[in-house]
Structure 1
Amino acid sequence: MTDIRLTKVAADQVAPNRRRGGDIRVMLSPKTAGATSGFMGVAHLRPGEHFIEHYHPYSEEFLYLVHGRVSVLIERDQLIVLSPGEGLMVPKGARHRVANDGAEDASLVFHLSPLAPRPELGHVDTEDNPHTGAHPEVGTAHPTGPGAPAPVQAAGEAPAGSRR
């Protein structure tokens, strides 16, 4: 039997990215797990928070709501509300904005595929970004296992695992 090396990444080991709102943590990616077809992570929004409108020119985005309630505005005119246990596929190139308009925290799992030719080409913001501060490089995580390094906290960010 061939020894296949697998990588396990815990969400609390990934520094939160708040650059576009909420708390986004890319867990399994080319950098963390050697992925070649896409990347996956978790996202959290507090009541009233949103991820700014954007689109992915090369990828479809799959969203699965674990907890709470979110509204996804597609192309500024189609509103889809997700409840726990529901998923949505956002087509390649479709502008979308995800907002927590409920009364409790919302938690989502996301996956994007296929990968853009270069990471900086994978995400295009289409509205002004009110969020500021330092943020980690997207897709940077610290795998678990013997000898794995301790999580790194980006300057100006809350410790990994916190929600601000």
Structure 2
Amino acid sequence: MYLVDEKDKNYRFGDSGPKYLMKGPRLNFAIVRFNPGQSFTAHYHNYMEEDFYIIQGKIDIYVDNSKNTLSKGQFIHIDPGEVHYVANNYSEPVVMVSTLGPHQSVDKIEVKDYLEKFNERL
């Protein structure tokens, strides 16, 4: 058994980023908050699947060659190998649940210039 209270954990960047409630041994589980204008580097995973479930707000999640705008109550699953990028292009914070599994201590491959290349395709 594993029991944790969210109030005992902190967001990575003070008031934003991931707040991991569990990291491994088989799954990562986090509450993630992005303030307006925040994003993270485009990347993919070789082994891990990633899920996002939106609790509050609105977010743009780019996966390979598509832009997906999600809001409260929506869910997205990202398979290993799919390049993804998350950006809060809106005026309100977004809060979402994120899961990654199976847990790997190192499995994130950054993709430089993804957004520029994505916009060129439009």
User: What is the TM-score with the length of structure 2 in the denominator?
Assistant: 0.82
The aligned runs of 1:12-51 (5 Å cut-off) are 12-18=7-13, 22-30=16-24, 36-51=25-40
% identical equivalent positions: 23
- Per-residue deviation, 1:26: 1.4
Query: Which 4+ runs in 1 deviate beyond 3 A?
Result: none
Q: Distance in 1 between matches of 2:19 and 2:51?
A: 15
- Per-residue deviation, 1:11: 2.6
Count of residues in correspondence between the two structures = 111
Structure 1 or 2: larger strand share?
2
Q: Give the structure 2 partner of residue 123 of structure 1.
A: 108
Structure 2 unmatched runs, 5+: 114-122
1:58 equivalent to 2:47? Answer yes
User: What is the TM-score with the length of structure 1 in the denominator?
Assistant: 0.62
Q: Deviations over 1:71-119 (max 9, x none)?
A: 01112x2101111000000111111011111211100101111122xx1
- Per-residue deviation, 1:43: 0.5
Q: Give the structure 1 partner of residue 57 of structure 2.
A: 68
* Pairwise CA RMSD: 1.6
> What is the DSSP-based 3-state SS (H/G/I as helix, E as strand, rest coil) of the residue aligned with 1:51?
coil
Q: Give 1 or 2 for the bigger CA radius of gyration.
A: 1
